[in-house]
Chain A
Amino acid sequence: MTSQSVSPVATEAALRAKNVSVYYGSTLAVRDVNLDIFKNEITAFIGPSGCGKSTLLRCFNRTNDLIPGARVEGKAMFHGTDLYAKDIDPVYVRRRIGMVFQKPNPFTKSIYENIAFAARINGYKGDMDELVENSLRRAALWDEVKDKLRQSGLSLSGGQQQRLCIARTIAIEPEVILMDEPCSALDPISTLQIEELMKELESRYTIVIVTHNMQQASRISDRTAFFNAEATESGNKVGYLVEYGDTEKIFNDPSEQATQDYVSGRFG
C-alpha cells in the first residue's frame, strides 16, 4: 500500500508513525498509518476532508491529548523515541515540535510579547529584544511591524498574524514545525508569502504541512502523503494513508488510481 520511493539524498527520519491509529472515544478516525518524515524536508499531507490528515499531524506533538476522549494506538516516534512513552512529558514534546494552526491565533498581547512569552516560559537566556527582532526578520515580518511592536498582535492583517504565529514558533527553535492548513484563511498574496517563508525555513527545520491546496503541496513540498477516507458499516469515515513518496512522483506518476484521480482533480 505504501510505496516509498527513495529520495536522492537519503536523510534521517525525524518523525515516524508505526501502525498509528487514532480514536475519538470509540470512533476510529484514522487507521494503521506507517510513514517516515525526513529531517529538513517539507512533507505535505493531502486528501479529502475527514481523511485524518490533521488528526495524524496532531499526534506528532501530542495536541490530541487536549481533545477529550482522543486515544492514539501504535507508535509515533521522534528520532526513535516513542512520543507516547510514560516518561515523556507532552509539554516537552510540544516545545521541540511546534505547531502553526489553521486560523491565525496570536495572543491578545503586543506583537513583542507574543514572541517574548514563548521564549520566557522556555527559559531563554539571551537578549530578548534581539530574539524578537531576529524571529520577526526570519518570519519576513520585521519591516512591516518594527515601528509598532507594542501594538496588539490582533491589530495585524490575517497574513501578518499568521507570520507572527510562525515567528513565535521559530523563536523557541523547535526541530519540527507542524502546520495545519496554515494558509486556508489567507488571501493568495499572504499565502505566497508564507510559502516563500517555508522554503527559507526548510534548511533549519523539518516541516509537515496539511493542505487542501494541491498546487501548494506540489509547489513547496519534497514529499507528499495522500490520505483517503472510506465509510465503515456504522457510517463513520475512517482515514488511511493511500500513498506516500516524492512529491514529483505523487503528482506525475502515482502508483494508485485513487491518488491519480485526486491529484488530477477528478474527485475531492
Chain B
Amino acid sequence: MTPLSSQAKPLDAGWDIEQKEVLNALGRRQGVDTGFSLLALSAVIFSLFVLVVLLADVLIDGVPVLSWNFLTSFPSRKAETAGIVSALVGTIWVMVLVALVTFPIGVGAGIFLEEFVPDSWLARAIEINISNLAGVPSIIYGLLGLQVFVRILFPITQGRTVLAGALTLALLVLPIVIIATREALRAIPGSLRQAGFALGATRWQVIRSHIFPLALPGILTGVILALSRAIGETAPLITIGALTYIPFLPELSLRGLQSPFTVLPIQIFNWVSRPQADFHALAAGAIIVLMVILLLMNATAIYLRNRFQK
C-alpha cells in the first residue's frame, strides 16, 4: 500500500511513527483477520460435512425401502413385509396430545410468571428451577412418568398407554415452552404496556390486546421447537414401557387414549438393535420419515412466524 501524503508533526511524540511502520503493522493485523475468518469457515465446513455424511448414509440405506407399503404396513418379523404404520400413527397421536397439553399450560404459566408475578425471591427461585428442569436428562422424566402416570394414575391412563406417554413428554417439554413464552413476552417493549395502563386498561386487557398478539410468533416458534424435541425422544417412552410390536392402531376416540402404543424413535431403536442388515435398512427408512415430519414442523414454525409478524 502507498503511504498517504505526509501530515504535520504530531503533538504527542508517541504518535511520531513512520507511515511505513504503520502500514506494515496494518498488514499483519489484516492477516490475523483473514486467519480468523478462515478458522471460523473451517468450523462451519466440518459441522456441515458431518451432517452431509450422516444424511447421505441414511438416504442411501433408507430410500430403497420407502414405499406406500412401508408406510401402511404393521411391523413384522419378516423384513420384506414390515412397515411403520403403527409407529407413525402413534407418533402423530402422541404429538397432537403433547401439543394440546403443553400449549395452554406452558403458555399460561409463562404469561403468569412474566406479567403477573411481582419480582421477588420466590419468583426468581421458580425461574431458576424451571431453567434447571429444562436441562434434566429425559430418562428422569421417564421414571417420573412411570411412577405418576403409569402407576398412580392407572385408573385414568390405564397404564402404558398413549395418554401416559404423551403426558410424560409434555412434562419434559413444558419448561422449554415456559421459557420461550417468557422470552417472547420480555421482548415486547414496556412502553406498550405503559400505554395500555395509562388508558385505564387492566393487566389482562393490555396482555390480551397488545402484548400477546405481538409475542405470539415467538411463542409458537418455541412451542414447535419443543415439539420437535419431543418427537425424537426415546428414553422416557422406553422407561414407561411403550411397546415395540403393535399390530393394531389406537381407536380414533377417547378410548384410543388408553391404547398401548409405539412411536417412530422406538421402532427405529428396535430395528437398529437387530442383527439382520435388512432391518437396518428399515430403520434408515423410518429415520427419513421422522426427518420429513420434523422438517414439516419446522417449516410450519417459520411460516407461522412470518405470517403473524405482518
The minimal Cβ–Cβ distance linking B305 to chain A, given in whole angstroms, is 16
Closest residue on chain A to residue B189 by CB atoms: A105
Task: Flag whether A94 is at the interface (Cβ < 8 A).
Answer: yes
Residues of chain A within 8 A (CB-CB) of B202 are 91, 121
Residues of chain A within 8 A (CB-CB) of B201 are 91, 117-118, 121
Residues of chain B within 8 A (CB-CB) of A91 are 197, 200-202
**Does A121 lie within 8 Å of B197, measured CB to CB?**
no
Task: Flag whether A44 is at the interface (Cβ < 8 A).
Answer: no
Task: Flag whether A43 is at the interface (Cβ < 8 A).
Answer: no
Closest residue on chain A to residue B200 by CB atoms: A95
Residues of chain B within 8 A (CB-CB) of A98 are 198-199
Task: Flag whether A106 is at the interface (Cβ < 8 A).
Answer: yes
Looking at chain B's contact residues, is the secondary structure mostly helix, strand, loop, or mixed? helix
Residues of chain A within 8 A (CB-CB) of B205 are 121
**Does B192 lie within 8 Å of A105, measured CB to CB?**
yes
**Does B198 lie within 8 Å of A169, measured CB to CB?**
yes
Task: Flag whether A228 is at the interface (Cβ < 8 A).
Answer: no
Residues of chain B within 8 A (CB-CB) of A96 are 200
Task: Flag whether B209 is at the interface (Cβ < 8 A).
Answer: yes
Q: How far is A106 from B195 in the complex, measured between Cα atoms in Å?
A: 7
**Does A169 lie within 8 Å of B199, measured CB to CB?**
yes
The interface size bin for chain B is 10 to 19
Task: Flag whether B118 is at the interface (Cβ < 8 A).
Answer: yes
**Does A68 lie within 8 Å of B200, measured CB to CB?**
no
Q: How far is A82 from B169 in the complex, measured between Cα atoms in Å?
A: 53
The minimal Cβ–Cβ distance linking B214 to chain A, given in whole angstroms, is 6
Q: How far is A169 from B119 in the complex, measured between Cα atoms in Å?
A: 29
Q: How far is A124 from B200 in the complex, measured between Cα atoms in Å?
A: 13
Residues of chain A within 8 A (CB-CB) of B210 are 107-109, 117
Q: How far is A117 from B199 in the complex, measured between Cα atoms in Å?
A: 9
Closest residue on chain A to residue B206 by CB atoms: A121
Task: Flag whether B194 is at the interface (Cβ < 8 A).
Answer: yes
Q: Which of B119, B194, B199 has the most CB of A within 10 A?
A: B199
Contact mask A73-114 → B, CB, 8 Å, 1/0? 000000000000000000110111011110101111100000
Task: Flag whether B191 is at the interface (Cβ < 8 A).
Answer: yes
Q: How far is A177 from B205 in the complex, measured between Cα atoms in Å?
A: 21
Residues of chain B within 8 A (CB-CB) of A118 are 199-201
Closest residue on chain A to residue B195 by CB atoms: A105
Task: Flag whether B193 is at the interface (Cβ < 8 A).
Answer: yes
The minimal Cβ–Cβ distance linking A25 to chain B, given in whole angstroms, is 11
Q: A117-B209, A121-B201 are in contact. Are A108 and B119 (CB under 8 A)?
A: no
Residues of chain B within 8 A (CB-CB) of A100 are 198
The minimal Cβ–Cβ distance linking B216 to chain A, given in whole angstroms, is 12
Q: Which of A100, A103, A117 has the most CB of B within 10 A?
A: A117
Q: How far is A168 from B219 in the complex, measured between Cα atoms in Å?
A: 29
**Does B198 lie within 8 Å of A92, measured CB to CB?**
no
**Does B195 lie within 8 Å of A63, measured CB to CB?**
no
Q: A68-B118, A117-B209, A121-B205 are in contact. Are A107 and B195 (CB under 8 A)?
A: yes
Task: Flag whether A141 is at the interface (Cβ < 8 A).
Answer: no
Q: How far is A122 from B196 in the complex, measured between Cα atoms in Å?
A: 12
Contact mask B185-228 → A, CB, 8 Å, 1/0? 00001011111111111100100011000100000000000000
Closest residue on chain A to residue B188 by CB atoms: A108
What are 14 A-B residue pairs whose CB atoms fall within 8 Å in the complex?
A66-B193, A66-B197, A91-B197, A96-B200, A98-B198, A100-B198, A101-B198, A106-B195, A107-B195, A107-B209, A118-B201, A121-B209, A169-B198, A169-B199
User: 14 more A-B contacts (CB under 8 A) besides A63-B198, A99-B194, A169-B199?
Assistant: A94-B198, A94-B199, A95-B199, A98-B199, A100-B198, A105-B195, A107-B195, A107-B209, A117-B201, A118-B200, A121-B200, A121-B201, A122-B199, A172-B199
**Chain A contacts to B: CB under 8 angstroms:** 61, 63, 66, 68-69, 91-92, 94-96, 98-101, 103, 105-109, 117-118, 121-122, 165, 168-169, 172
